[in-house]
Structure 1
Amino acid sequence: MAEGKRVIHIGLPELGEEELIEIGELAQETIIKEVFDVLNRSDVKDIEVTTRINRDETLDLEIEVYLEVPIFVKADVDELIDKAVEKAYEVVERRLKGLAAKD
């Protein structure tokens, strides 16, 4: 069982509500896909991915990942979470650059 919490500082203060929701969903989908690229569905007892977007001086995307696997599953859960969050960051960054280019 492992839990990871990361905050990504995006630094783009002006995004609409729909775009913010899209960014959060994109991060969640990416993390879940990355986890299931490594683990079989039967190897995962529980997975929960929560995203929060905080608007202050910068835009922060907070990602919380809870992943529970049975004891017999040989996987470095912490490393898996780290890699999945890294991938989510890359995907979100690409999407944000695309949105910024539209302006």
Structure 2
Amino acid sequence: MKKVIHIGLPELSEEDLIEIGDIAQRVIIDHIFEYLNKSDVKDLEVTARINREDTLDLELEVYLEIPIFVKVDVERVIEEALDKAYEAVERRLRELAGKSGMVE
């Protein structure tokens, strides 16, 4: 499952962009492990891609594989994790915009 959000912001440094990707990945992984034990996860991949053109595009992709006997709605857990990640990234971007004097 993947989701893309378009964000218009002031210039961000390479370190800021890396931090944004790290925040998103950390929030997703933490949320997934609120619902699942590490031993229940066969495979987990979280990819963050950031494209900077006219807007800042953050694309998050999550692949989660669990054994069939684990009764969890994987799609719901991933969707919730993505929503939380975008909220965390938005908060951080607002902080960065505030520091640069670009708060609306």
TM-score range, shorter chain: over 0.9
Distance 1:98 1:14 in 2: 13
The CA deviation at 1:91 is: 0.5
Instruction: Tell me how large the CA RMSD over aligned residues is.
Output: 0.8
**What secondary structure does 1:70 align onto?**
coil
Aligned to 1:5: 2
Q: 1:30-82: CA deviations, max 9, x gaps?
A: 00000001111111101000000011210000001000000000011111100
Kindly report which structure 2 residues correspond to 1:52-91, keeping only aligned pairs within 5 A, or say none.
52-91=49-88
Q: Does 1:30 align with 2:2?
A: no
What stretches of structure 1 of length at least 5 have no aligned partner? none
* Identical aligned residues as a percent: 67
Amino acid in the other structure paired with 2:18:
I
Say which of 47, 52, 57 aligns to 1:50: 47
**What secondary structure does 2:90 align onto?**
helix
TM-score (normalizing by structure 2) = 0.93
Q: How many residues are treated as equivalent by the alignment? A: 100
TM-score (normalizing by structure 1) = 0.94
